[in-house]
Amino acid sequence: MSQPYVPTARTRVVREANRADYDRETAYRILDEGFLCHVGFVADAQPFVIPTSYGRSGDKLYIHGSAASRMLRQLKESVPVCVTVTLLDGLVLARSIFNHSMNYRSVVMLGNAALVEDPAEKLEALRLLSEHIIPGRWADSRQPNEQELKATSVLRLPIEEFSAKVRTGPVIDDEEDYVFRTWAGVVPLEMKAGKPIADARLDPSLPVPDYAKHYSRTD
């Protein structure tokens, strides 16, 4: 069931407002297809934007990293953060260079991340992160040990203040430019997994698991 909400002044899309989507279902579909986000924050008056993986559980986003990293040290102090996820679907080639564009789907989230301190929630968040990237891998791998868990921080960001933005469809040229004999159209783009490459020290009798053999982000 769709869950639209009223955007805040900070998340209301101003430029190309017709591409805005404030429906949670739309935002969650984008988040669930992607697995790389960019986390923006300010530390000592210096802006930083760090790419990292993430996982979602309901209306919560989890990110993780080394407990010693600048990002995790700053964010666990509950500083304001901006998290973005973008999926690129195509290059839109217009007759005018000014009207070139891209088809894309994106989500911007604002809020304050909190350090996950409960051991059970932390382990479950790490499982979510793993399963979000490649479902089935968590149960097939060695679980994190106490030392690894201690060296890793997990942050929780409530998905409360957000907006999605989507561009789909064909070229939009100025009417007078349609007379130009220049090819125009869309070059579709998609993420496609290649054939899995076995580790050099892998037992050759082990088969490739289905989750690797048939990997896809759009299932």
**Is the pLDDT confidence value at 1 over 60?**
no
Terminal C-alpha separation, the chain = 19
Per residue in 65-107, pLDDT (tens digit) is 876 677 777 766 677 899 999 999 999 999 999 999 999 999 9
Which pLDDT score is estimated for 52? Answer: 93
Nearest-angstrom CA–CA distance, 217 and 219: 6
Q: Whole-model pTM?
A: 0.91
Domain residues of the chain, as ranges?
Answer: 17-173+184-213
Secondary structure class of 37 (helix, strand, coil):
strand
Per residue in 107-162, pLDDT (tens digit) is 999 999 888 999 999 999 999 999 999 999 999 999 999 999 999 989 999 999 99
Under the banding of pLDDT at 50, 70 and 90, the label for residue 42 is confident
Nearest-angstrom CA–CA distance, 92 and 96: 11
Sign (positive or negative) of CA dihedral 196, 197, 200, 206: positive
- Return the CATH fold of 17-173+184-213: Pnp Oxidase; Chain A (2.30.110)
The DSSP element (H or E) to which 124 belongs, if any, is helix 119-133
Which pLDDT score is estimated for 186? Answer: 98
161-181 mean pLDDT: 96
How would you label 35-54 residue by residue, b for 16+ Cβ within 10 Å and e otherwise? bebebbbeeeeeeeebebbb
